[in-house]
Amino acid sequence: MTSNSKDVIIGEIQNTVSKMMGSSSAALMRMAGKSASYKIWPELPTDKTILEAGEIMKEGIADMGGFGDFSIVGDKDGTAQIEFKGCYFASLTEGSGKPCGQQPICFFGFGLVEETFKRLTGIQTKVELVNREDGTAVCFETATPR
């Protein structure tokens, strides 16, 4: 998996945040992700379906780099089924001391998706990693309504 300089810099920042802030880094980074939603998508349509929201978010997340290919692949009883393929940041688990899904950069992504999803659909959710398949480099996540 290749990365660009921006990804490496972000990776080093997240590793340092993880080491210095410990468990507090999750809340901080989730909040930063929510705030970033407004910078990445200053204006968004509303009243979108779960799958329509996924299509809108796909391009913006791809443009950020590092997170790989984002998609909402399904809607299971109002819970969005999310896949991130080829996330560079998963390769940083050793340096951060946290497993995939518990790294600060993961919480940034969770917050970004939560806020953007809420803005698009009107549904407040909590995003969590369900599991990661290292062999296929895919993170499977859910956005569960609160």
pLDDT of residue 1: 45
Give the domain CATH number at 72.
Answer: 3.30.1380.20
Checking if the pLDDT of 18 tops 80, the result is no
Q: How many Cα atoms within 13 Å fall on the side-chain side of residue 84?
A: 28
Q: What is the per-residue pLDDT across 46-83, written as a single tens digit (0 to 9) for each? A: 999 999 999 999 988 988 888 889 999 999 999 999 99
- Give kind and range of the element (H or E) at residue 50: helix 50-64
pLDDT of residue 81: 97
Could you tell me the residue range of the domain that residue 9 belongs to? Answer: 5-145
Stated pTM of the model: 0.85
Contacts of 29 (CB under 8 A, 6+ apart): 14, 17, 104, 105, 106, 107, 108, 111
Q: How many domains does the chain have?
A: 1
Euclidean distance between CA atoms 39 and 142, whole angstroms: 23
Nearest CA among 94, 105, 82 for reference residue 11: 105
